[in-house]
Amino acid sequence: MDITIENLKKSFGEKVAVNIDGFQIKSGEMLGLVGNNGAGKSTLFRLMLDLIKADTGRVLMGDTDVSTTEDWKDWTGAYIDESFLIDYLTPDEYLQFIARISGRSDEELQSFLADFEHFMAGEVVGQKKLIRNLSAGNKQKLGIVAAMLLHPQVLILDEPFNFLDPSSQNAIKHLLTQYNQTAGATILVSSHNLQHTVDICPRIALLEHGVIIRDIANQNGEAIAELENYFEV
């Protein structure tokens, strides 16, 4: 699914959060979004998911303007923060809820979860804990799994490596790369972890003050030098 951003602008008072004249992400592409705090990464994702209203411009998924119809929700999975989780459910109930409202059977859900066993490390499903009582890392894992549950054609994850232990960070990198290759899904990932982003994303956009200032090709991990230079790491 192609994603096209056209003349997209969003301000909060005087502060311009996002200001992108034009940007296109090709179907099946895996894009990393990097930038300093307050650069507008989360705001851009929220605009793409129609969670906030753009001042001007639009986001197209295929030919669908996300602000005019709900069709795109059928093929899009996303996890931005805890406001995606219903914290008085257990993880199993939450995943079952997402699966069932999307018309998936319990068998399909179980078979899907089998692929994530290593990632969840036995600490997410099968627990008699409410989501509100999970650790930040386990909430993050649950959000990511729930976002991928419906085999979306477009997957948007905001800072997916946050709160995760090193082995889970590696596991999610592997899962995302594999999913991108097998399902041909368009994946957008924002992160402050330059190395992880470079490891999995063949294309990286550098966002500052709401503007995409660099669009870096990263077929062989060559973007790391440019990014480290920019962030003065």
Partner 1 sequence: MTRYQLYKLIRRNDSLKDERHPMLEKNRFMKMLAIFMFLYYAAILVLMGVMLPMGFRGMYNGVSAFHVMDGLVLYLLMTDFWMRFMLQETPAQRGRPYALLPIRRSFLMHVYLFSSGFSLGNLFWGFLLVPFGLLAVMPLLGWCALLRWLLAWWLLFIINGFCYLYVRTLISRHILWVLLPAAIHAALLFIMLWPEENILDIPLTEMMYQLTLGNVLYYLAIAALLAILYWANYRLQMTMVYNEVAQKEEVEMKHTTEMSYLNRYGALGEYLKLEMKMRMRNKTIRLQFLTLLGMMILLSGLLYFTDIYDNGFMKSFICLYDYVGLGMTMLISIMCHEGNYIDGLMSRRESILQLLYAKFYFNSVVLLLPFCLLIPLMIIGKISVWMNLGYLFFTAGVLYPICFQMAVYNKETLPLNQKLTSKQGNWVQQLVSIMMLFLPIGVEKVFTLLLGNPWGFVMLAVLGIVGLSLHQWWLRNIYDRFMLRRHVNMEGFRASR
Residues near partner 1 (CB under 8 A) are 49-53, 70-71, 73-74, 76, 78, 80-81, 83-90, 92-93, 96-98, 100-103, 128-130, 132-133
Residue 32 or 91 with smaller CB distance to partner 1: 91
Least distance from C-beta 68 to partner 1, angstroms?
11
| 178 vs 207: CA distance, rounded Å | 26
Residue 55 CB, shortest distance to partner 1, in Å, is: 11
Minimum CB separation from partner 1 for residue 52, in Å? 6
Q: Which is it for strands 64-65 and 56-61: parallel, antiparallel or unpaired?
A: antiparallel
The C-alpha atoms of residue 197 and residue 55 are separated, in whole angstroms, by 30
What is the distance between the alpha carbons of residues 23 and 3, in angstroms, rounded to a whole number?
8
In sequence order, what DSSP letters do the residues of 65-128 get, joined into one string? ETTT-SGGGGSEEEE-SGGGS-TTS-HHHHHHHHHHHTT--HHHHHHHHHTTHHHHTTSSTT--
How far apart CA 226 and CA 49 sit, in angstroms, is: 30
Decide: 7 and 21 in contact? Cβ < 8 Å.
Answer: yes
Given the complex with partner 1, which of 47 and 212 has the nearer CB atom?
47
Question: Which residue lies nearer to partner 1 by CB, 47 or 176?
Answer: 47
Per DSSP, 159 falls in state S
Considering beta carbons, is residue 93 or 215 the nearer one to partner 1? 93
- Structure tokens given for 62: 């295929």
CB of 228 to partner 1, least distance (A): 33
Nearer to partner 1, 51 or 121 (CB): 51
CB 54 → partner 1: shortest distance, Å?
A: 9
Please state the closest distance from residue 223 (CB atom) to partner 1, in A: 30
Which is nearer to partner 1, 90 or 180 (by Cβ)?
Answer: 90
